[in-house]
Structure 1
Amino acid sequence: MTLLRFPIPQAGPQTDAHAYALRAGRMFDGFTLTGAATVHVRRDRVVAVDRTGSVPPGVRLVDLGDDVCLLPGLIDVRAHLALDAGPDPVASLVAADDQRLLARMRVAARTALYAGITTVRDAGDRGYLGAALAAETAADPGLGPEILAAGPPITTPGGHGHFLGGEAVGRRALVDAVRERHARGCSLVTVMASGDVRTPGSDPTRSQYTRDDLRTVVDEAHRLGLPVAAHAHATVAIADALAAGVDSLEHASFLGGHGAVEELRLQALVAGSGTFVSMTPVLEAGAYADAVHGAYRSLARLGARIAVGSDAGVAPARPHDILPYDALELTRLGVSPLAALKAVTSEAATLCGTEGRKGRIRAGADADFLAITGDPLSGLTALQDVRAVFRAGVRIR
């Protein structure tokens, strides 16, 4: 994919070359939807939000139109840039050397950015290539989203995702695995608390680690200032991960449960704990789709804290620009349009530890924006009608 960068109107002799103002007929600031607003930007930051429409002399105005809504750039809290969303992403990854794999990850990152996804939490890569790509996009934000990399997910020998190289078993090995990710500059730790259908021989209804194992990972990660994301399809793995103090439950599918009453009790515990649930709406039919959606409806009804992790890359139905469709899918599972928007902006930023800087439009926040046509609260299909994308103040689309 060729990345297009649309220029901001050029500065004249009396203008500040590093400042401009964006005007739109509507604005969602990460929390509420309001009418017309003008957002003032200097370099890569928002400096002010104005409701009067006034633009000081010497500031260039980019008028996006009365029919446009300006939002914070979207945040995908779970993606796999190293997986190509092809017919067999794992085989494709295994066959690629690091140079070729990194090239593919660059394309995946640009695909996400072009859809308005300006921050990606990469939940698992091979060889810490996610951290390498994160450094590239930090140096040149026009190349892709801000990337929060986990490195290879910690898993059991032969367990889910073992082909990414993060196998570890036993207390010493688990502590060393967490320390290595910290030393490599990772932004979080991913641990495979349960199996997954996408790894042959792995079972999504069963745990891979004990509660004590998960607590070892959490304690060491938190000591080093890193959050822990627990991949947890199995009900027992969800219970163990929650008890161990993880920061987010990835998928939280509640598979292989212990009866409806016990499952509902655990869902209420998850909702009451404030632990984030990184939901991955299942767009394709599958053996577990109904069970997953039933669990999501229950969690939403109980008031669980929700962010959206697309799991982009793992299958053809999970391309790297799928997040806007996932936000719409949430509303079909009982989540209000406003909560769904927060789940891909301000709530996602809180989960990622970037609140105040990402996922909202206010003075001091990063100048990451998505401009769409229409009113998103009237229908989240509007997220797919992209008019402009800005990343760190640079117009990408």
Structure 2
Amino acid sequence: MQPQISTAWDLPKHRDDTRFPIGDMPMNSFAIHAGSMFDGFSLSGPATVHVLGDRIVRVDRTGALPADGSAVIDLGRSACLLPGLIDTHVHLAFDAGPDPVTSLVSASDSDLLVHMRAAARSALLAGITTVRDLGDPGYLSLALVEEMAGHPKQGPEILAAGPPLTTLGGHCHFFGGEVEGAEALRTAVREHHARGCAVIKIMASGGHMTPGSVAPHASQYGLEDLRVVVDEAHRLGLPVAAHAHGIQAIRDAVEAGVDSLEHVSFLSADGVAPDPDLIDTIVRKGTFVSLTLGQDPGVALQLPKAMAVFVNALLDTYSSLHKHGANVVIGSDAGIGPAKPHNVLPHSVADLARLGVAPLDALISMTSLAARLCRVEGRKGRIAAGADADILVVTGNPADDPAAILDVQAVFRAGIRVR
């Protein structure tokens, strides 16, 4: 039986993990103690994090327990506190099935919302407390944003893009964001802003999931159209995420001033072909690259030889971007297939380790750096006074062992324990 939530004055001085309630309401005031802490930037020893309502109010890096009778969740020496993870690229409306597009276009809005709620909850229980949803039909993700505003235990904070901007019949046109021409693009950006979107998504190149559209390496919008979108979005205070596989699309998106490149595959008609000069430009301009990583290891992928060659070349490109100092964040593209369930992001730590990226750098990519891209820096992606009480607790040292991020002890969302 789940324990009852006690009032602050009749909680014992120290609470063990099994007795601390999981419920709808945040405790008025409590502290979380663990043997180590990654604060979004670096790893340190024992720490006690003090929470009031939905915010962190104090961090004691000596690990001292409160002496005032406050409620304490002492998770033990083997536990590590981290900020809730941030996935910079998900699609809650895709069902992670073998044919997510057909499932989406054949479903009613009400059925899609049922699935999206479950997807959001799945992500939250894995410690993903913030997501950028970069494409849905009919602004359905905004309905979830409104639903969850008063019920944070239901899912992560959603930074929604709504229907991505695409050409007529272009990649992901089934989301309903087809638009062409400078004035129509400006109008579309204004509508997304007026509806409450937190980011503008534009399909600068083709993609892999839309039969009949241009090839993934081909551009859908030219430089001038991309500039129109970026200028209007930035005027309204919104960042722009550009889906960009092709080399020319990447080049144009960087020149136009987009905030993040999604996938950034450096595709040409002949395969993956990284351009060193373009990589240098990406690094110099500080453009974020949202790498598509994270895969459920329980799903065996039977890739054709040609696709396997492509994947290996793409991973080499991702490694090169990191080594050159690009602002690397992780966008799992959760939902697009069986290997991409909505709780898949933590697996990308191991993916990056295989590319020679230190686990600590991977954690930074999924916390403080991702928060900067998403314009929630200070509030998300860190454990510090004033930040949201979105906290992941794992067993072990994730800075040494990538698998530790998968051993979840507890998850707090806005001061509410959800796991």
Classify the TM-score, shorter chain.
over 0.9
Query: How well do the aligned residues superpose, as a CA RMSD in angstroms?
Result: 2.0
Q: Give the deviation of 1:5 after TM superposition.
A: 8.7
**Alignment partner of 1:183 out of 194, 214, 220:** 194
Name the counterpart of 1:393. 415
Q: Give the deviation of 1:17 after TM superposition.
A: 5.3
Q: Is the 8 A contact 2:289 2:327 kept in 1?
A: yes
Name the counterpart of 2:203. 192
Determine helix, strand or coil for the equivalent of 1:324. helix
Q: 1:50-92 CA deviation, whole Å, 9 max, x = no partner? A: 1231303131010011100000000001000000000100000
User: How many residues are matched?
Assistant: 394
Q: Is the 8 A contact 1:26 1:37 kept in 2?
A: yes
- Give the direction of change, closer, same or farther, for the CA distance of 1:350–1:280 in structure 2 (3 Å limit): same
AA at the equivalent of 1:110: R
Q: Give the deviation of 1:264 after TM superposition.
A: 1.2
Q: Give the deviation of 1:335 after TM superposition.
A: 1.7
Determine helix, strand or coil for the equivalent of 2:265. strand
Name the counterpart of 1:356. 378
Name the counterpart of 2:35. 25
Q: 1:253-302 CA deviation, whole Å, 9 max, x = no partner? A: 11107999971111111122111000012755435312211211111110
Name the counterpart of 1:233. 245
- Give the direction of change, closer, same or farther, for the CA distance of 1:307–1:195 in structure 2 (3 Å limit): same
AA at the equivalent of 2:266: F
CA separation in 1, counterparts of 2:164 and 2:200?
7
Q: Is the 8 A contact 1:300 1:334 kept in 2?
A: no
Name the counterpart of 2:87. 76
- Give the direction of change, closer, same or farther, for the CA distance of 1:36–1:9 in structure 2 (3 Å limit): farther
Q: Give the deviation of 1:199 after TM superposition.
A: 1.2
AA at the equivalent of 2:185: L
CA separation in 2, counterparts of 1:343 and 1:159?
31
Name the counterpart of 2:15. none
CA separation in 2, counterparts of 1:207 and 1:190?
15
- Give the direction of change, closer, same or farther, for the CA distance of 1:184–1:116 in structure 2 (3 Å limit): same
Name the counterpart of 2:292. 280
- Give the direction of change, closer, same or farther, for the CA distance of 1:140–1:211 in structure 2 (3 Å limit): same
Determine helix, strand or coil for the equivalent of 2:8. coil
Name the counterpart of 1:155. 166
AA at the equivalent of 2:345: L
Determine helix, strand or coil for the equivalent of 1:267. helix
AA at the equivalent of 1:25: G
Q: Is the 8 A contact 1:6 1:396 kept in 2?
A: no
Query: Is 1:217–2:249 an aligned residue pair?
Result: no
Name the counterpart of 1:134. 145
Query: Is 1:100–2:100 an aligned residue pair?
Result: no
- Give the direction of change, closer, same or farther, for the CA distance of 1:10–1:68 in structure 2 (3 Å limit): farther
Q: Give the deviation of 1:14 after TM superposition.
A: 7.7
AA at the equivalent of 2:392: L
Q: Is the 8 A contact 2:294 2:347 kept in 1?
A: no
- Give the direction of change, closer, same or farther, for the CA distance of 1:299–1:5 in structure 2 (3 Å limit): farther
Alignment of 1:1-397 (within 5 A): 11-13=8-10, 18-52=28-62, 53-202=64-213, 203-256=215-268, 263-281=275-293, 283=295, 284=301, 285=303, 286=307, 288-397=310-419
CA separation in 2, counterparts of 1:354 and 1:56?
33
Q: Give the deviation of 1:48 after TM superposition.
A: 0.3
Q: Is the 8 A contact 1:254 1:291 kept in 2?
A: no
CA separation in 2, counterparts of 1:190 and 1:384?
30
Q: Give the deviation of 1:345 after TM superposition.
A: 0.4
Q: Give the deviation of 1:324 after TM superposition.
A: 0.2
Q: Which moved more, 1:51-60 or 1:218-227?
A: 51-60
CA separation in 1, counterparts of 2:33 and 2:11?
21
Q: Please, what TM-score do these two structures have when normalized by structure 1? A: 0.95
AA at the equivalent of 1:61: V
CA separation in 1, counterparts of 2:416 and 2:91?
25
AA at the equivalent of 2:292: T
Q: 1:228-268 CA deviation, whole Å, 9 max, x = no partner? A: 00000111100000000000001101110799997111111
- Give the direction of change, closer, same or farther, for the CA distance of 1:18–1:92 in structure 2 (3 Å limit): same
Q: Which moved more, 1:337-346 or 1:50-59?
A: 50-59
- Give the direction of change, closer, same or farther, for the CA distance of 1:8–1:68 in structure 2 (3 Å limit): farther
Q: Which moved more, 1:361-370 or 1:129-138?
A: 129-138
CA separation in 2, counterparts of 1:73 and 1:193?
30
Q: Please, what TM-score do these two structures have when normalized by structure 2? A: 0.90
Name the counterpart of 2:20. none
CA separation in 1, counterparts of 2:174 and 2:416?
36
Q: Give the deviation of 1:184 after TM superposition.
A: 0.5
AA at the equivalent of 1:304: A
The answer for unaligned runs of 5 or more in structure 1 is: none
Q: Which moved more, 1:185-194 or 1:46-55?
A: 46-55
Q: Is the 8 A contact 1:257 1:263 kept in 2?
A: no
- Give the direction of change, closer, same or farther, for the CA distance of 1:303–1:347 in structure 2 (3 Å limit): same
Q: Is the 8 A contact 1:5 1:396 kept in 2?
A: no
Q: 1:89-135 CA deviation, whole Å, 9 max, x = no partner? A: 00000011111111110000000000000001101111001111011
Aligned-pair identity (%): 57
Q: Is the 8 A contact 1:310 1:322 kept in 2?
A: yes
Q: 1:23-55 CA deviation, whole Å, 9 max, x = no partner? A: 000100000101100000000000000123130
AA at the equivalent of 1:43: G
Q: Is the 8 A contact 2:152 2:414 kept in 1?
A: yes
Q: Is the 8 A contact 1:345 1:359 kept in 2?
A: yes
CA separation in 2, counterparts of 1:17 and 1:207?
51
